[in-house]
Structure 1
Amino acid sequence: MTSDPRIGAISLPDTRARRVVEQLLEGSGVALNGLAPWDMQILHPDLFSRLLHQGTLGLGEAYMEGWWDCERIDEMIHRMLRHGLGERAHTPTERMLYRLQNGLFNLQSKARAYIVGEAHYDLGNDLFERMLDPTLCYSCGYWRQADTLHQAQVAKLDLAARKLNLAPGMKVLDIGCGWGSFAEHAARHYGVEVTGITISKEQAELARRRCQDLPVTIHLQDYRELEGQYDRIVSIGMFEHVGHRNYRTYFDTVARLLVPDGLFLLHTIGSNNSEISADPWIHKYIFPNGVLPSAMHISRASESYLLMEDWQNFGADYDRTLMAWLTNFTARWPEIADRYNETTRRMFRYYLSACAGAFRARDLQLWQIVFSMGREGRYDAAR
């Protein structure tokens, strides 16, 4: 990564497209070819027309292709979103195509469940091992009393375990277990027996190796195929892949698998509104078929099956988590650069930075929600 992205910036052509982009940015604090670290440095003369025609998809793709640069993309996105450019950055065609696609197809059907695993999570364990902390948690850390990424991730795992009131001998189901982070923590520190499922072959293989000395079983499996009964169920960073057409099926499955006095913890990114949409760049390059739930989506889909006991929002912590991942990714990229390409590096840099900016602007949230089957007595959530 160049130390000064302004190097190589071109003089700006006086075109209608450029003037429209400048008008959109006016008041945001983001300038074109400016001196601030969050200013866009223009490296291709056709960038402006591309942005107006392709919206956020064009913004991300143009960065991957080297059409523009920015030292602090996170701050650029933060300022743009606080200025209200989030909604205006999506073109009408882009919105129409996504709604049409969602209306005609179940993008998160059982047959399509493994697409995101193959496209993103199977990209390479060597990359994720360098970007993440030793727990291999690929979800928001809990920074309330943490100073490092590792401390924040251990705190998040333990917070979930304490909210579930884990006790030795319990049978626990981990839906979307990733690389086995929670399964290992819960089995090792709370003496529980864990069954974890993931739709990523790479995650499943590494999770099995990590947990081989523990009472942990890992399956390559879709949640709709699950059977059995569990004292506790946890799902951390997986619900974003379920999709609005399947929310009721998801909660029906959890209720069917949970014992009468059991508890279920859902840890998910959340949207501020209930419009069914997805950022087209994230949809295409990072999490295919992903969609973020709103509070209404979750409450409506779950109310026939489960009783909501607790709801905690620590979305602001995701900003710090993503920036820590970006620091790790940048520092350790040279170790794996020969196995990937420059486009992949720019893709991850843009993804981590843009998402950090979105959480910083409070455009996205992170929720931990605890449900029961309607157990008797008072439930006191850990914090």
Structure 2
Amino acid sequence: MILSNPIEQHNLQSLFESLLVDADIKINGSRPWDVKVLDDRFYSLVFSQGSLGLGESYMDGMWECEQIDEMINRVLRHDLEAHLDNKAKFKIGLNVAGSKLKDLVNPQSISRAKHDVSSHYDLGNDLFKLMLDKRMTYTCGYWNHAENLDEAQEAKLDLICRKAGLKPGMRVLDIGCGWGSFMNYAAEKYGVICDGLTLSHEQAELGQQIADEKGLAVNFLLQDYREYHPKEKYDRIVSVGMIEHVGPSNYDEYFTCAKRVMKDDGIFVLHTIGGKESSDKTDPWIDKYIFPNGVCPSFAQLAQAVENKFVVEDVHNIGESYDKTLVAWCENFEKGWPQLAEKYGERFKRMWRYYLLSCAGAFRSRNINVWQFVLTHECLSQPHYIRQS
């Protein structure tokens, strides 16, 4: 327990209610973003364990909220962390200190990365088929002119293709290729040849099957980017939603590897969730249940890592689109749940719903964002990138 003397002198429920006043959230209120407490143990769990207690108590059915996304948005927008720091030595619903053991080791080592990727992405293709768009794209869509999830994901894929300046016959490497949504799109629409690196057996098997059925020049490789040494360098490199699994200890090596396998006149398009401050940890609940050892890089961390390696040609923030993407995924997940219920169980359903909607709230509040970087080699005398939007 990390309760301090001032906290112990107050009724936890009253203190909790007072902290939520500025965010216009009520305990047992009637609005969709109000929190309905079903078990009074909720209060002590949140006060003692922060975001981990908040998420686990929801998984265990101690509270309900119709719009978790909007509740989290309000919590983050009104910076309850600052109020809590003034009133007590604890934090609610926000990042708290992770295990000190992680300070002593590389939590994204090659062996650890293989285990962590499998724990999430190999949960089951049945889950992701029901939740994602028709192309199985598990990253932020681009909703500028899109009216549904399929359109938003195709718009994102095409945006990346245009930023990369793809032309027929080019060889493209996708670092962290997922089920191959980008590679399949790029090969189909732009006539390129794609190799993709992934550590997920489930993703590679299904992705290769999809590509082969369409007769596309797409090849999945079950290999860590640090161990990959191609015979020929690539015209273009793309990495979409993968560097969040790399970890600050490995950013320098990540960009060094990308530089090593890209031609001198190549273009590297990097798409990543971005944190508002530099850290080597993530939210404790997300770390335990969703993305073990994942870390969202800050702008400063990425800038330092690309220093003396690449020229930053362009940066584009599309973070507002991830809110809509996550909400759409949650709608698909809940609609398809009857097909998943027997296999996954009620606690998983609550965990997954909390994951999708709490992340949507974080993007809505702009606590985290999504950046697309366009990078080129330093040796170019003339930039050849044309900005796309």
TM range (shorter): over 0.9
Indicate if the aligned counterparts of 2:164 and 2:236 stay in contact, CA closer than 8 A.
Answer: yes
What is the Cα deviation at residue 147 of structure 1?
0.7
Inter-partner Cα distance in structure 1 for 2:157 and 2:194: 14
Inter-partner Cα distance in structure 2 for 1:363 and 1:86: 13
Inter-partner Cα distance in structure 2 for 1:227 and 1:281: 36
Letter in 2 for 1:168: P
How many residues align? The count is: 367
Letter in 2 for 1:326: C
Inter-partner Cα distance in structure 1 for 2:80 and 2:122: 33
Return closer, same or farther for 1:145/1:56 CA change in 2, 3 Å cut-off.
same
SS in 1 for 2:136: coil
What is the Cα deviation at residue 214 of structure 1?
1.1
| Residue correspondence of structure 1 range 45-194 to structure 2 within 5 A | 45-86=40-81, 88=84, 90=91, 95-98=96-99, 100-194=100-194
What is the Cα deviation at residue 108 of structure 1?
0.4
> Is residue 40 of structure 2 the alignment partner of residue 35 of structure 1?
no
Which of 341, 345, 350 is residue 349 of structure 2 equivalent to? Answer: 345
1:380 corresponds to which residue? 386
Which of 273, 285, 291 is residue 269 of structure 1 equivalent to? Answer: 273
SS in 2 for 1:142: coil
Which of 229, 233, 237 is residue 237 of structure 2 equivalent to? Answer: 233
Indicate if the aligned counterparts of 1:42 and 1:67 stay in contact, CA closer than 8 A.
Answer: yes
Q: Deviations over 1:110-161 (max 9, x none)?
A: 1211122221110010000000010110000011111111000000000000
Return closer, same or farther for 1:380/1:124 CA change in 2, 3 Å cut-off.
same
2:255 corresponds to which residue? 251
Farther-moved stretch of structure 1 (328-337 vs 363-372) = 328-337
Indicate if the aligned counterparts of 1:125 and 1:202 stay in contact, CA closer than 8 A.
Answer: yes
Q: Deviations over 1:223-254 (max 9, x none)?
A: 10111211100000101000000000000000
Indicate if the aligned counterparts of 1:32 and 1:41 stay in contact, CA closer than 8 A.
Answer: yes
Return closer, same or farther for 1:56/1:127 CA change in 2, 3 Å cut-off.
same
2:198 corresponds to which residue? 198
1:327 corresponds to which residue? 331
Return closer, same or farther for 1:339/1:246 CA change in 2, 3 Å cut-off.
same
Instruction: List runs of 5+ in structure 2 lacking aligned partners.
Output: 1-8, 85-89
CA RMSD of aligned residues (A): 1.5
Inter-partner Cα distance in structure 2 for 1:96 and 1:40: 25
Give TM-score, length-normalised by structure 1: 0.93
> Is residue 226 of structure 2 the alignment partner of residue 224 of structure 1?
yes
Indicate if the aligned counterparts of 1:95 and 1:277 stay in contact, CA closer than 8 A.
Answer: no
Return closer, same or farther for 1:382/1:350 CA change in 2, 3 Å cut-off.
same
> Is residue 220 of structure 2 the alignment partner of residue 215 of structure 1?
no
Indicate if the aligned counterparts of 1:140 and 1:153 stay in contact, CA closer than 8 A.
Answer: yes
Inter-partner Cα distance in structure 1 for 2:257 and 2:323: 32
Instruction: List runs of 5+ in structure 1 lacking aligned partners.
Output: 1-13
Inter-partner Cα distance in structure 2 for 1:43 and 1:115: 36
Inter-partner Cα distance in structure 2 for 1:95 and 1:59: 12
Letter in 1 for 2:27: L
1:287 corresponds to which residue? 291
Inter-partner Cα distance in structure 2 for 1:240 and 1:275: 12
Letter in 2 for 1:362: R
What is the Cα deviation at residue 80 of structure 1?
0.7
1:356 corresponds to which residue? 360
Q: Deviations over 1:283-321 (max 9, x none)?
A: 000000000100000010011211111100010010011
Letter in 1 for 2:14: R
Inter-partner Cα distance in structure 2 for 1:79 and 1:286: 23
Indicate if the aligned counterparts of 1:18 and 1:49 stay in contact, CA closer than 8 A.
Answer: no
Indicate if the aligned counterparts of 2:281 and 2:293 stay in contact, CA closer than 8 A.
Answer: no
Indicate if the aligned counterparts of 1:117 and 1:201 stay in contact, CA closer than 8 A.
Answer: no
Return closer, same or farther for 1:340/1:97 CA change in 2, 3 Å cut-off.
closer
SS in 2 for 1:29: coil
Letter in 1 for 2:113: A
Indicate if the aligned counterparts of 2:323 and 2:361 stay in contact, CA closer than 8 A.
Answer: yes
Inter-partner Cα distance in structure 1 for 2:38 and 2:132: 31
Give TM-score, length-normalised by structure 2: 0.92
Inter-partner Cα distance in structure 1 for 2:370 and 2:244: 11
Farther-moved stretch of structure 1 (108-117 vs 309-318) = 108-117
Return closer, same or farther for 1:154/1:59 CA change in 2, 3 Å cut-off.
same
Inter-partner Cα distance in structure 2 for 1:70 and 1:96: 26
Inter-partner Cα distance in structure 1 for 2:338 and 2:344: 10
Inter-partner Cα distance in structure 1 for 2:304 and 2:261: 20
What is the Cα deviation at residue 96 of structure 1?
4.2
